[in-house]
Amino acid sequence: METQQEKDLRIWNAVKKFFQDHKEQLPLNEHNTNPPSDITGINAVYWRMLVSAQNRQRMSNFIKFNEPAEKWRRIFFNDFDPKKVFDEYAVNDEKLWNAIHYYRDENDNGKKFLMKTFVRAAIDSAIFLQTFDYDLDKLRNFLNGFPPSLKYVVPYIISTPIYGYGYALACDFLKECEELEFDIVKPDIHIKNFLAAIDNNPKENQSQKIKYTDPEIVKRMHQFVVNVGPIGFEDCFKWRTPGKTGDDYKLDKIIWFLFSSKKGPFKDEFLKTIQHASWRN
């Protein structure tokens, strides 16, 4: 009988070939999730926390964090120093609300709620970083003190104290924040579609299908990476520092590019490819 590792290897070989055949058509060189070059260290971590804070529902379409960059720099003291944010806004979140609202006058109650959620997350993020004395090494050592088998726990530690974050947004922050060197996937719709295709036999009825929780998705994807070995494709992640791109991250991005790209009809073809590799027997 085929082991899970053997099956995962077969699936990965199909994914790898599909990505290799189509990567020239993907917008790999247009992708960049890094902060501006002058924002570094713990300030870059805080900047990334703000980016992830708006990555929910329709919030990013309204808040448009970092657009224009000059406005957000004025609000967050030019360098996004979380200690300055804490000292200025922690005891009075209305002050941050008013600073943002000066540039974005909205009467829509739904948009007001989204903005207040973002404001609270911005302050909670600064408070969270205060726990580590705004010291990047302390934060990095704490997060990476968890063994790989328990990395799924870490998003709970991030999301619990930060208003509006949730498990998936905490994964988004951890995954994209290169300064933390924390390797994890984000359990978004693309990863869920991938797992549904490889772990659920299309011949089974709905009641028999596996339904993963977000932490289970993180665990399953990490085990997939362990089973298939190094992901490779280092040259496809040029926005990352060479040697600091983990395999969970690489697999997440490969799946994201193939499922979400608008530059080619990849989604349906890719889905069929991985389903065939998974259930050809």
**Mean of per-residue pLDDT scores for the chain:** 89
- Distance of CA 165 to CAs 29, 214, 261, 276, Å? 29, 14, 26, 36
**DSSP percent split of the chain into helix, strand, coil, nearest 5:** 65, 0, 35
- Nearest CA to 166 out of 47, 55, 71 is that of 55
Question: Which regions of the chain are under pLDDT 70?
Answer: 57-58, 102-110, 202-208, 262-265, 280-281
pTM above 0.75, yes or no: yes
**Quick one: pLDDT at residue 116?**
85
- Nearest CA to 216 out of 159, 167, 274 is that of 167
**Quick one: pLDDT at residue 267?**
85
**Quick one: pLDDT at residue 205?**
63
**Quick one: pLDDT at residue 78?**
83
Contacts of 8 (CB under 8 A, 6+ apart): 223, 224, 227, 228
**Quick one: pLDDT at residue 228?**
97
